[in-house]
Structure 1
Amino acid sequence: MKRTLIRLSLLLLAGAVVSAVAYRLIGVRVEADGTLREAFPLIPIGYLLGGAGVVSGIAGLLWRKPARRR
């Protein structure tokens, strides 16, 4: 379970980085009529993925298997 949580954490953090890079690559522009065009949904998605990645990473590092009794 520990490895699964750490892998999930890395996947979520990678998604957060991809969201940030995509936002930067798409950019922000103002149309001729004054309308702002930007990929705004990528900002909260990136924050959510990053936060979930940090939480699952901490949980993966703190996970302990119960001791087996023989």
Structure 2
Amino acid sequence: TAAVLGHAGPEDVEPDAVFLEIGMDSVSAAELRNALGRALGRDLPAGAVFDHRTPAALAAALHAQPAGAATDP
């Protein structure tokens, strides 16, 4: 999230900050989804970022899915 939003490091983004309130838009959300998908080795749904309001909620949802779990593209 920090890298996509142009911050120096992860400490610059609060885990419970609301994506829309910290400058996430549809373009940066797609960029974050793509980066996370590459890192996890799987496709993530188009709404993955905005389906979860915060970085912490998104991380928890991704963590709850087993590796290689099918996702709805």
**TM bracket, shorter-chain basis:** under 0.3
As a proportion of its length, which structure holds more strand?
1
The normalised TM-score by structure 2 is 0.27
As a proportion of its length, which structure holds more helix?
1
The normalised TM-score by structure 1 is 0.28
Largest Rg, 1 or 2: 1
